[in-house]
Every structure is written in structure tokens, then in C-alpha cells.
Structure 1
Amino acid sequence: MPSLRLPFSLNLGALLLAALLGLSPLAARATPSLLIDVDTGKVLMAEDATKPWYPASVTKLMTAYVVFSAIRDGRVTADTLITVSDVAAAQAPSKMGFKPGTQITIDNALKMMLIKSANDIAVVLAEGVGGSLPNFVNEMNVKASQLGMTGSHFANPNGLPDPDNYTTARDLAVLARAIILEFPEHEEIFRTPALRLGNRVIRTYNKLIDRYPGADGMKTGFICASGFNLVASAHRGNRRVLAVVLGTSSGKERTEQAALLMEKGFQQSWSIFGKMSPTVDSLRNEAGTPPDMRAEICGAKRKRVASEADDDSEPSATSFAAAGMNGGAKITGASLLVNLPPSMPPVPVWVGPVNDQAAIDAAYPAPQQKKARTAKDKSKSAPAAAAADPKAKPGAKPAAKPAASKPAAKPTTSADASGTAPAAKPKPKPAAAAPAPAPAPRPVN
């Protein structure tokens, strides 16, 4: 059959899907989504699936694929020790926070990267497996090319913001399917609900695990520019489906949308394309620049700070009527999520070659303590005081300050590194109200 070309074919599919599912115009707005059958690669649903997008931490699926390939090729083993570098330790959160010089096995590093979504550990894996960060990133792009991920380019192994780190829902489905089919021996990592590091339990950001029946992976992602992303898989009986949801406004919304997509996929007779379903490989990626979702996701109008852990927003309005349902009742994403019995206890991870609490404690930098000012420190301020008052005699005590009324507001500037507070600035003249300050930087993952 001829290859399906965009945008016409998939846009038509999106319109049909909206009509079938009764989506409101708001719910049907175009952020990328894709549903495929894992075994056949058939596309069951697609909406803007070939549109460029920032992957955020879903990038770590490619990092994992390269590491799995290195293990398969005998370049490293699961027990190979790799070292936290200064570059790795300097990565932005979410991260494990180990100090430079800490060693971790590749197996433990993979679990920390995929479950905790640790940005520092992604760099540790890249440097340890690739020999250097640039070498590993190059290998990521080589693998992407070999897989036919024509709409993807990787600039780092963790998905932290970079304009040269982009992909499509179609490419992510190709990658995730390759991981499932080529490396079934690593499938348990993706369905792990939590890790245990010493006395600390670290839970997965994938809220489908142990909540959506049959969910077995794979990876979440979030930065302000991308919105909330999720690649998710589930199996029931002899069928396995894979959903990609990109650019939602909250973690809750991405979870519910993915659950709805996969639930629809388990209805054996359903496909937006019917018997003419294309394969995911046949979709053609669009050129262009990924949209920047920052204003919508992390703008001042948002009621709460957006973060990877956001799972408390209003439920998604998306729903569908399942086959055989009477009375017009519809299934929502929230109704598909339940608290299932834990599929497994938290999986232990550690630093070093063996599990040792002392080694775990030593892996973290010592907490910084505020240094108390000594008499020597105080004496250092005397020359500065003398310079400020040329009439002061050497060795004379500073004159008592005249009583003054308490200022209306405490200055926001803090003491400098020596512990001496900066001099007060003259009170400014009243001015027109300034615009609200820009929101603080959001956590990324």
C-alpha cells in the first residue's frame, strides 16, 4: 500500500476521531497523540503524530536503548561500575544528587534513570558507556537514524531543555516498540513502581503503573517548553498496545489520555483507519520547529507550579462510549484508574558494587552549615567602617546609631559571603505599580 502522507490523511483521521469520541473543541485541540498495536506496528489512532515536539525526559528511552545495545554487544555488562563526574553532578533536577567520584553499576544506573528520571545519572551512563558525553550523544543519533527516526535529533541524554533536542510521537513509538521487541530481558525496569535506596523509597512518575490494569511501562517527561509527555504500554491477553501523548497541561491529563487511548486499543474491532490502518513506520514526519508551550504550561496564569510530580489537576474532559454500552454512558480516563495491589515491592538500588548503607551515606555531599561569625571576622569590618567615616579615630568604637523608625518592609537582599549585610539603599520615590515578576524557574525532568 502507498505510504500515508501528512498532513491531510492524519488530519482527516483526527476529525473522524473527534466525531466518534464526541470530543469538545477544547479537548480535540491538537497536541500530538498516537496509538499503535505493538506486535503488528499498525496505527490505531493518530493526531499530529508526525509534528515536531520537545521530548523532555522521554529522551531517556533513547539513552536506555543505546545502553541496552552496548550490553548486548559486550561493550559493558550490567555490573560494570561507572563514575559520577563533575558534569553529571552539575545537572539540573530531577536527579539523585550523588557527589562526584561516586560509582554505580550500570544496572542500578538504568533503574535510577528510568524510574527516578534522574538527569545526573543519564549523564553518568552516557560518559561511562560512550567514553565521553559527545560520543554517546552521537551514538544516540546514529541509532535514531538506524531505526528510521527521521524527525528526531538528540543533543543530550536526559532531555533537559535544548532546541536541538526534538522528536515526534511517531518516532517515539518506533523507538519504544524497538525496545520492547529487541530487549524483552529489560522489560521489568519499565514496570517497576518504586525503588528503595537505603531507607528512601522513590516512586515512578508513571501514574499508570499499578493503577491501569495491564500497564507495563514506559516513560514520562516534562519541561515547560514541551508540556507533559508520556510513552505508555499495556498488555491484556495476547494483545499489547502503545500510546504516545505529548504536550498535555498536567501529569493527570497525560495519564488519563493515555489510559483512554489504550482502553480503546483493547477493543479488538476498533481502529480509526479500519482495515486500511497504516504501520507506524509508514508515517512521514513533518519538518519545522517544535512549538514552545512555556506560556501555557508555566505562565503566570497557572494556579500551581508545573512540575513532573503534578498529578492533582482537574480531570481530563476526554471520554468515549465503549462498544456495547447503553444509555449514552461514557468512559473517562479517571474511571479507568484504580488502586491495584502492588505488582512488586520497591526494587533495591545502591551505589558501589554491593548494597551498603555506609556507601550510600557517603555518596551524598555533606550538608553545608552556616558559618558563625568569629571575632576575627568582625574585625575585618572595622577598616570598612573607618573608610566610610573619615572622622573616626583609629581603634575608636563606632558611634551609636540614632534611633530610627522601623522600615515598612524588610529588604530582600541577603547578607554577603562575609556575613556583613549590605548597606541600606535610599528609599525610592513612589512609582507606578510595577508588573508582576516573572515566575520562578520550574523544575524540569
Structure 2
Amino acid sequence: MFNAALLPRLAGRLLGLGALLAAGTAGAVTAPMLVVDVDSGKVIYSQGATDPWFPASITKLMTTYVALDMVRQGRASMDQLLTISEAAAAEPPSKMGFKPGTQLTLDNALKIIMVKSANDVAWAIGENLGGSIDGFAAQMNETAQRLGMRDSRWTNPNGLPDPRQWTSARDMAVLGRALLRDFPENRDLFSISAIQFGRAVMPNHNGLLGRYAGVDGMKTGFICSGGFNVVASANRNGRRILTVVMGQASARERDLKAADLFDYGFGQSSFSFGGQTLAELPTSPIATPPDMRPYICDKRRPMPTDADSAALTASAAAAGGNADNANAQLMAAGAPPSSALAFATMNSAALRNRALPPRAPLQPVLVWTGRDPAESAIAATDEAAPAKPVAARPAARVKVAKPVPQRPAPSRSIAATGATVPQPKLLARHKGAAPAAASAFASTGPSTAVIAEPKGHKAAAKPAAKHDAKQDSKPAAKPAPKAETKPAAKPTVKSARKKDD
């Protein structure tokens, strides 16, 4: 009969073999892995869970916790502006590339570091909220101690290489649980599939989002010395599991192993994985983290990136078939059937071509610089580009072309000035008009005739406009009739064109 208590030890040996095959060197280096039930904190599976390890960008989970905690305490706000300093702008990629002096809200900054993993923005969060990077690192360490993260040491907010900064799989599981427990209103931060800045859409580096059913966060990370890391959460049927995978040779292997661990975790009942909690995991005998650079970043190969997961496009059916082959091998070794432990032989021929399903369509979340999108220089540029054809405003030109001189207003202005119009001259223009209209003009006088005339005859407007122009050209003319004549309309057209250009 199979002894379940031997499963972690057996799996650890197989995983150690997998790490040995991947690294091609001493088997003393075992990549840490951990599966924990979020609600109870009980450990479902662990391997090297308390070994010190370089965190890379999963550090930004710690940065986010400190920032959200400051907001909760009233020491910061999500809409406060952070300024990009020269030091922040000088941080190496992954980055947004903001110029020094650029400002953005804390809310947008947190979205950017969770999706794009921008080191310049994380640095700005540390400087602005902590007063300095050292000040913010002190807050990170204080918070870690309060949460029970006993294996962690923090020196910067973005996770770029620093031999003094490390953590453990156990501590990252403690942190992940704390984020989900203490800030339920901010859980969406960890599940954003992409951000959109201006016209650029940047997908999340987390290759499990949109590919593995139930995964809803949290963060990936990569540096040569630490390999490819991920802290991921998944929810199925109301049960939430947290998985930590560290030290993998590629984003693809990291994502596949995390998926297998989720399979294993969801396959276990809440009563079958014992009573060991995260707090009860034994301290590691290893004093300092191993340097994985010789194994991860081989100079003879291209530099790996955390975007490798974008290449995972194979069908789920193919992945399932290969998982069955792995189960057969594990059963032969005495382990129960489960695709969750297939990662032990990741480098075998049967599993070399495994992949996750294609990614679900991205749903980008808008981010911007400044306090709101209208203040963002990029947003303003992007909004102006499509609006350029509209700026020509054909409707405005039609307005200028409207028959303004035909309106009765110029005639009233003539009456107001008291100008006399020679009746024979105007009557001569009404040869085609009805006799009644002509006699009405003669009996009522010039002012009444000019007002009544456009109703019965449109041609009557022309003489009025012509006469207005003459009157307006005189020094004694008032400004009102000048603004309403045709000659006054031409400068309007010219100024409108100048503005459109």
C-alpha cells in the first residue's frame, strides 16, 4: 500500500533529478516549489520551501503590500501623484521609459508594476512613499517581519539583482495570502491581463492568466541569478490555492510546472494533505541563495526574457496526452497517478513539447500619466491624432457660407441709422414684382419696405446688402452693420482656416 507521507520525499527526488537534468551540474541546487490552501494556510506540497532565493520581480508584491498598507493607514492615497526621478528613469528594463519629472497616480503605478513589471515605476513608488529607497526598504522589512516572513531581506522595491536581497517560497506564500486577505478590494490588481498606455497594449507577463482555468493572479519575476519565478493564485468551486515556483530555466517551464502543481492541489481533498501549516515548515539549512546565472543565462544562447510565456500556443488536448505519459512513469515509481508531478521529468522526450492552451483575448486596462487622462501627454497626443480630420470642421465652413445678407437684420440697421434710400432706384428693381408689393413699398416708406420685401421677393436682399456695404465703408457707419455684411464674413473664413491648419 502506498504511503502518502512519502509523496513529498519521492516527488522531491524526482524534482531534484529534473533540476539536475536542466542545469547539467551538481544536484545540490533544488528549485523551490510550494502549494498551499489559502483559507487554512495548510501546505499541500512543498520542496525547498524555506531555502533562500533571489526573488526578482515578485519583489513587487512586497512593494504593493507596503503601498496598499500605507493607503489603508491614511499615509498615502491611490490618486496621489508620484514623480519619476532621474534615478528611477535610469533603472534598467523592464521599464516604461518615463522621462524624469513625469508624474502618475499611485493607482496607475501599481497597475503598471503588476502587469508590465516596470522597474522605473517601482523605484518611483519606493522613493515617493518611503522618502528614499532605503526608507522604503526599511518599511518592506518591517512589514515582512510583522507578517511572519522570516526568510526575507529587502533592499529595493523592484527586485533587480542585489546579493543582499532574498526571500523564500514559503515567505512569498505568506505574502500572497496576506495580500488576498488584507486587501480584497484590490484583488483586481493581480489579475489584469494587459494595460494600455496611449496606443501601446502591454500584456501581463503571467503566462497562466487566460490559459489555466481558475488562475486569477499574482506576479512573475526573472533575473539570471534567480531564474524564472512565479507566485500564482487560482480559484475553483470556491476553493483558492496559492502556488509558488522558483528557479526555472524558462518562462515556459515555470508556467507548466505551476499548472501541474495546481492540478495536484485541486486534486487533493482538504483533509488529505495533513495539518502542517506555513508557519510550521522547518528552517532551511542553506544560509545564502544559490546563483543560477551559469545555468539560466548561458552566454552561448540568447538572453531569456519573462515574455517567453507568450509562445505557449499549443492545445490543451496535447498537454493532457503528455501528462498521461508522465503519470505512467510516476506510477511505476510508486507515486499515485497525477499530472501534477509530471514536471519531475520536464526534460524527458515525452514532455519536451508540452504547452498550455492559447491565451484568452486580452482585456486591456487604461493607464496614463498625470492625474487624469486629459493631463497625460501621451493620451493628449493620441486623442489629437484621430481628431485632426475633425479639426478641419467642414461644418464651420458651411456656417460661413450661409446667406447671412438675406436676413432682415441689415434692413433694420438701415432704419436705425436713419439713412434714406432713393425710392425710384429700388422700385426699378421690382419690375417683376406684383403691383401690390410695389405700391406697398411706396406708401409705407423705405424702412417698412425693406423689412417686408424679403418675404415676397428674395432679390430684394441684394440691394440692401449692397447699400449696407456702401454705408459701412463710410467713417460715420456704425460697427453693427459692418459685422453683418458679406465683406465682414470673409475674414471669418480666413481665420477659421488658419486655426484648422
| TM-score under structure 2 length normalisation | 0.64
- Do structure 1's residue 15 and structure 2's residue 9 form an aligned pair? yes
2:126 aligned residue:
126
CA contact (8 A) 1:70 1:76 kept: yes
**Deviations, residues 293-328 of structure 1 (Å, cap 9, x unaligned):** 000111234x33212222359999887549xx9xx8
2:366 aligned residue:
348
CA RMSD in angstroms, aligned pairs only = 3.0
Q: CA deviation at 1:77?
A: 1.2
AA paired with 2:18?
Answer: L
Q: What SS is found at the alignment partner of 1:276?
A: coil
Q: CA deviation at 1:119?
A: 0.4
- Structure 1 residue runs of 5 or longer lacking an equivalent are 1-10, 364-445
- Do structure 1's residue 338 and structure 2's residue 357 form an aligned pair? yes
**Deviations, residues 127-158 of structure 1 (Å, cap 9, x unaligned):** 12112221111000000111111110001000
Q: Identify, as 1 or 2, the structure richer in helix.
A: 2
Once residues 330 and 227 of structure 1 are traced to their aligned partners in structure 2, the CA distance between those partners, rounded to angstroms, is 23
Once residues 300 and 313 of structure 1 are traced to their aligned partners in structure 2, the CA distance between those partners, rounded to angstroms, is 24
Q: CA deviation at 1:23?
A: 6.3
Q: What SS is found at the alignment partner of 1:247?
A: strand
Once residues 163 and 338 of structure 2 are traced to their aligned partners in structure 1, the CA distance between those partners, rounded to angstroms, is 44
Once residues 336 and 240 of structure 1 are traced to their aligned partners in structure 2, the CA distance between those partners, rounded to angstroms, is 24
1:290 aligned residue:
289
Q: CA deviation at 1:13?
A: 5.2
Q: CA deviation at 1:361?
A: 6.8
AA paired with 2:366?
Answer: P
CA contact (8 A) 2:313 2:355 kept: no
Once residues 285 and 268 of structure 1 are traced to their aligned partners in structure 2, the CA distance between those partners, rounded to angstroms, is 25
AA paired with 2:293?
Answer: R
Q: Does 1 or 2 have the higher relative contact order (CA < 8 Å, sep 6+)?
A: 1
Q: What SS is found at the alignment partner of 1:77?
A: coil
Q: CA deviation at 1:12?
A: 6.1
CA contact (8 A) 1:260 1:336 kept: no
Q: What SS is found at the alignment partner of 1:25?
A: helix
CA contact (8 A) 1:126 1:132 kept: yes
Q: CA deviation at 1:362?
A: 8.8
Q: What SS is found at the alignment partner of 2:179?
A: helix
AA paired with 1:346?
Answer: P
Q: CA deviation at 1:269?
A: 2.9
CA contact (8 A) 2:219 2:231 kept: yes
Equivalences for residues 109-120 of structure 1 within 5 A: 109-120=109-120
CA contact (8 A) 1:116 1:202 kept: yes
1:26 aligned residue:
18
Once residues 330 and 33 of structure 1 are traced to their aligned partners in structure 2, the CA distance between those partners, rounded to angstroms, is 16
Once residues 358 and 115 of structure 1 are traced to their aligned partners in structure 2, the CA distance between those partners, rounded to angstroms, is 20
| TM-score under structure 1 length normalisation | 0.71
Once residues 276 and 358 of structure 1 are traced to their aligned partners in structure 2, the CA distance between those partners, rounded to angstroms, is 53
CA contact (8 A) 1:82 1:125 kept: yes
**Deviations, residues 156-215 of structure 1 (Å, cap 9, x unaligned):** 000000011101101110011100111111111101100010111011100100110011
**Deviations, residues 314-359 of structure 1 (Å, cap 9, x unaligned):** 999887549xx9xx895767868323543x6200000001113861
From the superposition, tell whether residues 80 and 24 of structure 1 become closer, same or farther in structure 2 (CA, over 3 Å).
Answer: closer
CA contact (8 A) 1:198 1:357 kept: no
Once residues 336 and 181 of structure 1 are traced to their aligned partners in structure 2, the CA distance between those partners, rounded to angstroms, is 32
From the superposition, tell whether residues 356 and 135 of structure 1 become closer, same or farther in structure 2 (CA, over 3 Å).
Answer: same
* Structure of higher CA gyration radius: 2
**Deviations, residues 33-73 of structure 1 (Å, cap 9, x unaligned):** 00000010010000011111000001111000000101111
1:310 aligned residue:
308
1:174 aligned residue:
174
2:23 aligned residue:
none
- Structure 2 residue runs of 5 or longer lacking an equivalent are 21-26, 332-336, 344-352, 382-501
